[in-house]
């Protein structure tokens, strides 16, 4: 997959819904990432709060729950880990399950590395995947032209603060809240993800079609025989490769036109 190139100018405007002027400096990109990361951080706080409650119910302390979230920024992966810990699973089984569930982040990180300028220092390709999530990837890949890593780092910091603090507080005081409120907090994550995919879908009918096809295919794979028995992480990877490959074949990015953009 090739992304449109970017002609660096003193100031750059985008046609994204976050229409603003992006100065070239790394600090400006970082501040913009901090700002865009606030909704993600708030959404992660709500989701991880319920995660902290679940961790407390299996006997984990608030510090243990915090350390788990510090090392694993993935809701599905952490919920699976909590269930395995509760079932008395071994370390190898725990690690293997987490790797399989979170394999899609490896795919996202590889795709995002192509969004970087060839002049970007090599170490950024190792740092960017550290806290990669669906929402962080969605915002980072939607930037026009080359991605400045400082933008993603800003998002990551706010998102990580929301994720880890929510887990800690959920394990510490989560049982005080009524169950209905705790369960309702997790809905915010879906609303936040819709806020990421709807704006580009409204601007481009082909993207809207891809979103609809992806949702339908994902639903179909959860009920279809054989395919439904595959782990959710592998299903996401397979669907991404098939749908993204078909989209690239049907609507390839013209490099000459992209360079002139």
> What is the Cα–Cα distance from 226 to 35, expressed in whole angstroms?
43
Tell me: the pLDDT tens digits for 124-160?
988 888 888 888 998 898 888 899 999 999 999 999 9
24 Cβ neighbours under 8 A, 6+ residues apart: 8, 9, 10, 11, 12
DSSP-H helix ranges across the chain: 26-57, 62-71, 75-86, 91-101, 103-113, 124-127, 134-141, 149-173, 179-185, 188-203, 205-223, 232-250, 255-260
> What is the Cα–Cα distance from 47 to 163, expressed in whole angstroms?
8
Q: Distances from the Cα of 160 to the Cαs of 2, 89, 108, 131, in angstroms? A: 29, 27, 18, 8
Report the half-sphere exposure of 98 (CA within 13 A, side-chain side).
22
Q: What is the pLDDT of residue 261?
A: 41
Q: Which parts of the chain sit beneath pLDDT 70?
A: 1-24, 174-175, 177-193, 195-196, 231-233, 253-261
Q: What is the pLDDT of residue 21?
A: 44
């Amino acid at each position: 997959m090739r992304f449109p190139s970017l002609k660096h100018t003193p100031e750059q405007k985008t046609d994204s819904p976050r229409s603003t002027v992006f100065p070239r400096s790394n600090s400006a990109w970082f501040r913009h990432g901090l700002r865009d990361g606030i909704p993600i951080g708030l959404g992660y706080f709500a989701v991880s709060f319920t995660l902290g409650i679940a961790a407390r119910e299996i006997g984990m302390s608030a510090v243990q729950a915090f350390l788990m979230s510090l090392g694993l920024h993935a809701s599905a992966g952490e919920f699976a880990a909590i269930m395995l810990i509760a079932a008395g699973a071994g370390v190898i089984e725990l690690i293997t399950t987490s790797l399989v569930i979170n394999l899609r982040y490896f795919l996202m990180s590889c795709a995002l590395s192509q969004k970087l300028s060839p002049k970007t220092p090599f170490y950024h390709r190792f740092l960017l995947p550290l806290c990669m999530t669906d929402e962080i990837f969605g915002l980072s890949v939607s930037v026009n032209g080359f991605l400045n890593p400082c933008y993603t780092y800003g998002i990551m910091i706010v998102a990580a603060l929301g994720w880890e603090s929510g887990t800690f507080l959920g394990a510490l005081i989560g049982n005080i809240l009524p169950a209905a409120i705790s369960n309702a907090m997790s809905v915010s994550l879906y609303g936040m993800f819709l806020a990421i995919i709807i704006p580009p879908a409204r601007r481009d009918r082909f993207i809207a079609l891809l979103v609809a096809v992806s949702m339908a295919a994902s639903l179909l794979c959860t009920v279809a025989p054989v395919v439904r028995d595959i782990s959710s992480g592998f299903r996401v990877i397979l669907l991404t490769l098939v749908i993204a490959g078909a989209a690239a074949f049907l609507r390839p990015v013209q490099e000459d036109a992209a360079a002139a953009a």
